[in-house]
Amino acid sequence: MSNLTYTIIFYLFAVITLCSAAFVVFSKNVIYSAFSLLFTFFGVAALYVFLSADFIAVTQVVVYVGGILVLLLFGVMFTKSIMNTEMQTDVLHIVPGTLILAGIIGALLYTFYTTHTWMPSNKQLYGSIVERIGYETMSHFVLPFEMVSILLLAALIGAAFLARFDKPDKTKS
């Protein structure tokens, strides 16, 4: 693949990611926001492939698109009826929000571009890193791996406990 093709594909995915992220934020309809978030997650997964993190990209698609997005859509449809035209949500503090949006993006870009020249290392990541992730998980990151598994178990039990249907007499007492 030539260098120019690589660049064009990168910019395509960057534009998809940023436009759909902007649509998530600025759309008034919650359902449109949720479906636009799908394209954002796929675009970010494509950017992970560009960063030679293929395993992370697949994990992103499986966990975010298959899990979190379905959960968010379930939340949207559970809390509002889908045929309801009152699905539009209004916004709050639009002027300070826009000012802080412009300020944050400007400050971050200024910091990234001007205060330092990034020096890329000689040994960058290339190709597939699935094998190295396996080695790292079982050597340096065993304790965080076990801790995060316990955290996930506790979080899922807690979520199931919180979201279960209550007995009706409990709210009266």
Binders of another protein in range 54-73 (CB under 8 A): 55-56, 59-60, 63-64, 67-68, 71-72
| Least separation in angstroms between CB 123 and another protein | 4
Pick between residue 83 and residue 125 the one whose CB is nearest to another protein: 125
User: Is 30 an interacting residue with respect to another protein (CB under 8 A)?
Assistant: yes
Closest distance between another protein and the C-beta of residue 107, in Å? 9
Of 12, 128, 138, 140, the one binding another protein (CB under 8 A) is: 140
Q: Which of 35, 39, 65, 129 binds another protein (CB under 8 A)?
A: 129
Establish if 76 lies at the interface with another protein (CB under 8 A).
Answer: yes
44 part of the interface to another protein, by CB under 8 A: yes
> Which one of 5, 81, 120, 127 is in contact with another protein (CB under 8 A)?
120
Least distance in angstroms from the C-beta of 169 to another protein? 13
Q: What count of other Cβ atoms lies within 10 Å of the Cβ of residue 33? A: 18
Written as one letter, the residue type at 57 is A
Two tokens at 18?
Answer: 């940023």
Q: Which of 119, 1, 115 is nearest to 49 (CA)?
A: 1
Q: How many residues bind another protein (CB under 8 A)?
A: 85
**Is 146 a residue that touches another protein (CB under 8 A)?**
no
Q: Looking at residue 51, what DSSP letter applies?
A: T
**Nearest 5°: CA angle at 27, between 108 and 8?**
55
Neighbours of 98 (CB within 10 A): 10
Give dist(CA 153, CA 155) in Å, integer. 5
Write the DSSP string, 62-86.
Answer: IIIIIIIHHHHHHHHHHHS-TT-GG
